[in-house]
Amino acid sequence: MKINLNQTKLVGLTMDLDLKTKEYKLLCKELEELKDQKIDPNDIIFVDLAQRFLDNQEEIKAIVKQLKEIKD
């Protein structure tokens, strides 16, 4: 069975999206652990974590956009 270029891209992007989803869940877990430690919300650790959340979100948006382009 042969798959075309769009199908190959679709599989690759789906795998990337799965990895980014797992990364998001790990970030959520890390946030919960930091909250349990009762660290000051203004601590630089939270700033770093917030930036990683934003980066993850932007990467997910880019993947979803590419997936939509392939499906259209």
1 falls in which pLDDT band (50, 70, 90)?
A: low
* pTM of the shown model: 0.82
The average pLDDT across 12-23 equals 96
Count of positions (residues) in the chain? 72
Domain of residue 61: give its range. Answer: 5-71
Distance (Å, whole) CA 53 – CA 72: 29
| Structural domains in the chain (count) | 1
Q: What would the mean pLDDT of 36-65 be, rounded to a whole number?
A: 93
User: What is the pLDDT at residue 7?
Assistant: 84
For 53-56, which contacts have Cβ atoms below 8 Å and span 24 or more sequence positions? 53/24, 53/27, 56/20, 56/23, 56/24, 56/27
Residue 46's contacts (CB-CB under 8 Å, 6 or more residues apart) are: 34, 39
Q: Does the pLDDT value for residue 38 go beyond 70? A: yes
